[in-house]
Chain A
Amino acid sequence: MAVEWIAVGLVIVGSMLGGILNDWSTAPAALALQYLGVVALVALTRGAVAGVVALVTAVGVLAILVAPFDGKLAVPIPKWQTWLRDVARHLHGFDVSVTILAIVGATELMIEHPLGMSKPVGVVVAVLFVGALVQFIVGRPVRQLYALVSLVVGVCLTILEAGNGAVPAEVLLGALLQLVTALAVAYFNMLGTARPAPPGQEGYRIRGLPLGPRGGDGAAP
């Protein structure tokens, strides 16, 4: 049981990182944490074979997202000190507070109403769904693309846990869905629709409403 809650913690950390993404350099790390938690949970609740399928899918998705385009890595892998410094520099109070609020709310909801799943799995599903929703609403394109992958992972986990579990065809097609979603996300990221906000415009606004002194439009290229 303790291992299951550690897996839940990994997914929560990954989802929180996804909620504060400013560019793609953090996305693979955030997704890797999410997937690590999901793979562990699947292996613990659905058995080794399902765990191996989930692991292979996770590796495939991450490989697609960091695969080189035109000889360059889609996501340059920074040194961890640099990466941590970048993450800290791009932290915004609003992003962090909304993400924490949403995740705590989702966790509380699923612990109180587990919806026919085990509590750890229910919490993970809720965190992935609500985290994706928050990333859609307050995020810029980079977070929205990240949210698509999270959403698909959440759906596949729900399907695995629904009723008596998924049949092999559903497991395979769920893996295919995750891979093609990653492929499409990587493609649109490469096209530049998920560019980071320009310097000096690292704040955000919702539908033209400036929030706070940083202002700027995160959704704009």
Chain B
Amino acid sequence: MTAIALIFIPLAAALLFLIVRSVIAARITALALLVELAVAVAGPVTTVDALGVTFAVTPIERFCTAIATLVAIVVLVASAEPGLTPTVIPAGLVALACINVAIGASGSTILDGLAITSGLVLLAPVLVRQLGDSASPETGRIYLTWIVVGGATLLTGRALGRLYAAQPGPGILGPAMVFFIVGVGILLAAFPFAFWLPSLSDESPLGTALVVGFLQTALTSVVAQASAGGAWLVTTYAARLVCTRGGSIAAMIAAFLALGEKRSGRAMALLVGANADLALAALVAHPAEARVGVVWLLGTQALAAAITLAGIDLIHGKLDGLAWRRPLLAASLAVAALSLVGLPLTAGFVGRWVILRAVESSGYALLLGTAVSGILGGLALATPGIALFQRTDAPRLPISTVDVLFFAMAVLLVIGGLDPNPVLHQLAAAANG
């Protein structure tokens, strides 16, 4: 029942918001998201069969749903900040329900792709219309195109896999795997396929926070299931070598591009892409060993990316002197950005560490990619970091709810970096069956 509740709570909240459009409805929406979070964390472990699909909630699904809900809360609160246009809350809630369908549907390899694509396509008009600093129609169209192409590629890979299962024969499994990896790469915005993310995060950071948060948590669940299947992923040594080195090189290039990027939104997008490269490379080359690390890395990155991008939208990209004007928000942005580049004592570091520990026997390319992309990413953060502490004449603003919330999320990232074991053990137990 937990999985079904996680799908219906946001749907009910969206319906309520559509019926009662008022401040009370917005508060009830926030309450519904808190209930959603509580159910995700503490709901009983059950499986439900509905419409031919089994819905289940294992610790991996709990982790993904909890992160997606936290992302929704961050964006909801940030969009309620005075000065920003009102968010199209129902679309975000329905997208969250779709993401929860993708996360919870353990009995269908196709339903997850359908649900992810539907949810993310639904957000396309919202990005252009009313979500923070809105994207231009052209950028919105590019986003829509890549989400549909990525979703279609992922689904084609899944469908070919199902055909292969029904009619074993040569020649189908290879293309199925390629379609799957390319589709996931497009949706995760891994660097060679990250055509849509930098422009979108430059124009609409808040919308991108929602999209990246939802996409990465949903795809975390998808790749965890796929790697459990094993047959999806490459088995030959040469292919593993190519994927590992290719992913590592792509991560380094993405971090290098972030180093030269002046606009903070685009730099964050490139860092997100670099992490996605490392995660995909590890997963393709060492699916069984790297699964827990990849789940952790992508999940915590979703939260870190949501905090940084939503924060950038809140201040309209003006980082100068933020540490004096809004110290809590500045600290939150700094912690989240450092987590994105994998600084020790943050949750992002734990993900990279667990992956490298898991693949240490043959992961030299990954080690190099992780180290170099981390250093380059850290250097890329130097300029915005200095800007944060620049002296300013602007008055200090009173501490607001959104500052406290962002700080609480950043504290979660630090706690995850200091003591990840309680969650990691549960994830490992679930991953190992």
Which chain B residues in 234-282 approach chain A with CB under 8 Å?
A: none
Question: Does A176 make an interface contact (CB < 8 A)?
Answer: yes
Which of B111, B156, B167 is within 8 Å of A116, CB to CB? B167
**If A116-B167, A151-B152, A159-B159 touch, does A192 touch B137 (CB 8 Å cutoff)?**
yes
Total contacting residues, chain A, CB less than 8 A: 37
> What is the 8 Å Cβ interface bit string for chain A, positions 166-195, against chain B (1 contact, 0 not)?
111110111011001101110110011100
Chain B residues with Cβ under 8 A from A173's Cβ? 101, 111, 114-115, 118
Chain B residues with Cβ under 8 A from A144's Cβ? 141, 145
- Asked if residues A172 and B144 are in contact (CB atoms below 8 Å), the reply is no
Question: Does A163 make an interface contact (CB < 8 A)?
Answer: yes
Question: Does B105 make an interface contact (CB < 8 A)?
Answer: yes
Question: Does B178 make an interface contact (CB < 8 A)?
Answer: no
Binding site for A on B (CB under 8 A): 50-53, 101, 105, 108, 110-111, 114-115, 117-118, 121-122, 124-125, 128, 137-138, 140-141, 144-145, 148-149, 151-152, 155-156, 158-160, 162-163, 165-167, 169, 172
Residue from the set B50, B108, B162 with the largest chain A CB neighbour count within 10 Å: B162
Question: Does A52 make an interface contact (CB < 8 A)?
Answer: no
Which of B108, B141, B151, B152 is within 8 Å of A188, CB to CB? B141
Chain B residues with Cβ under 8 A from A187's Cβ? 124-125, 128
Residue from the set A177, A188, A191 with the largest chain B CB neighbour count within 10 Å: A177
**If A167-B108, A169-B105, A177-B114 touch, does A188 touch B144 (CB 8 Å cutoff)?**
yes
Q: Distance (Å) between the CB of A110 and the closest chain B CB? A: 13
| Main SS at interface, chain A | helix
- Asked if residues A163 and B114 are in contact (CB atoms below 8 Å), the reply is no
**If A169-B50, A173-B101, A173-B115 touch, does A193 touch B159 (CB 8 Å cutoff)?**
no
Which of B50, B53, B148, B165 is within 8 Å of A181, CB to CB? B148
Question: Does A216 make an interface contact (CB < 8 A)?
Answer: no
- Asked if residues B117 and A177 are in contact (CB atoms below 8 Å), the reply is yes
Please measure, in the bound complex, the distance between the C-alpha atom of A219 and the C-alpha atom of B125, giving whole angstroms: 21
- Asked if residues B149 and A151 are in contact (CB atoms below 8 Å), the reply is yes
Please measure, in the bound complex, the distance between the C-alpha atom of A188 and the C-alpha atom of B105, giving whole angstroms: 31
Question: Does A148 make an interface contact (CB < 8 A)?
Answer: yes
Chain A residues with Cβ under 8 A from B167's Cβ? 116
- Asked if residues A170 and B111 are in contact (CB atoms below 8 Å), the reply is yes
- Asked if residues A115 and B114 are in contact (CB atoms below 8 Å), the reply is no
- Asked if residues A193 and B121 are in contact (CB atoms below 8 Å), the reply is no
With contacts A148-B148, A180-B122, A184-B144 known, what are 14 further pairs, Cβ within 8 A? A116-B172, A158-B159, A159-B114, A163-B165, A170-B108, A173-B101, A173-B115, A181-B148, A184-B124, A187-B124, A187-B128, A188-B137, A188-B140, A191-B128
Shortest 8 CB-CB contacts between residues of A and residues of B = A167-B52, A169-B51, A163-B166, A163-B162, A162-B159, A173-B114, A162-B162, A168-B51
